[in-house]
Amino acid sequence: MGFFETLADRIEAVDSVVSVGLDPDPSRLPETVTDADLPRWAFNRRIIDATHEHAACYKPNAAFYEDPDGWRALRETAAYAEGKGVPVLLDAKRGDIGNTARQYAGILDHVDAITVNPYLGRDSLQPFLDRADKGVFALCRTSNPGGTDLQDLELASGEPIYERVAALADTWNANGNVGLVVGATTPDELETVREIVPEIPFLVPGVGAQGGDAEAAVEHGLASRPDLPVDVGLVNSSRGIIFAGEESSRPDDEATYFGAAGDAAKRLKKRLNRHR
C-alpha cells in the first residue's frame, strides 16, 4: 500500500486532516521530562498519547534531532507513533545529487514520508521518488515571509518559480507518491497551485502559530483522487499544539500540560472539519 492510501485510511478512521508537528525544542521542554534519559523522546511520547486520537499524521522536523541522542529520540518517536497507527512524515527538506541523495533516501526505511527540496532538479529527488510506498512532499510555496525571495521570481514564460515547481511535480508523480508543501499564509497561491495540480495532496503549514488561513488550507490543500475514499492532504500545527500546555492553568502539572496539547489538537480538528 502506498503512503497516500495509508493516509486516506487514517484520515477516514479519525475524521481528521491534522498533522501534529513534533518539534521538541529543548529550551521549552517542561521540567517533568527534562530528567529523562531522552527528554525529547519522553516529551514526544506524552504528546502522542495526548493527541493521537485527533492526528492524521505526525511531522517531526529533523532540525530538532540533529545529534546522537536526537536521532535515538526520533527513532523511538517514529516507532511509537506507528504503534498507535499514525503515519510519520519527516520534515527534513532533503535533496542532493547522485550518491548523496541515495544515502539521504535511506531514512525512508524508518518513516512513511519525507519533505524534499526540489531546487536541484529531478535527479536529486529520484531516489526518493523511486520509493513507491513512501510519500515525497516537495517544497513549492513555503509559509515563511522570505519565501518570496525566490519562489515568486518570474520566469521567461511569465510564471513564477513556485508554479513551475508544481507543474514539474506532476511530471515526477509516476508512482502516485508526490505531494507538495504549500503554506496557509499565502491562500491565493494555495488556490493557484491547486488549479495546476488537482490530484496532488498538499502539506499545508502555517495554520497554527503563524496564523494561516484554515479555510483555504482545507478548501485547496486536500486533493480528490479517484483511487482514494476521502480527500487527502495534511494541515500542520506544531508549536500551537505541542506547547499549548505553557498557557494552561497548571503548566507545572504533567497531566494538565499534556492534556492541553490534546485539547489543542481536538480544537484544530474541529476547526478544519467545518470546512471539509
**Residues with active-site annotation:** 93
Q: What value, to the nearest 5°, has the Cα angle with vertex 272 and ends 163 and 196?
A: 15
Check the CA dihedral 70-24-26-77 and report its sign: negative
Report how far residue 12's alpha carbon sits from residue 231's, in angstroms, rounded to the nearest whole number. Answer: 9
**In this structure, which amino acid lies at residue 132?**
A
Residue 31 phi, psi (nearest 5): -60, -25
Residues 6+ positions from 98 with CB-CB distance below 8 Å? 123
Place of cell 508544481: 166
**In this structure, which amino acid lies at residue 36?**
A
Distance of CA 38 to the CA centre of its chain: 23
Report how far residue 225's alpha carbon sits from residue 167's, in angstroms, rounded to the nearest whole number. Answer: 17
C-alpha cell at 26: 529543548
Place of cell 536541484: 120
Across the strands, what pairs with 204?
A: 235
Q: What value, to the nearest 5°, has the Cα angle with vertex 3 and ends 227 and 38?
A: 155
Residue 232 phi, psi (nearest 5): -120, 135
Report how far residue 211's alpha carbon sits from residue 57's, in angstroms, rounded to the nearest whole number. Answer: 20
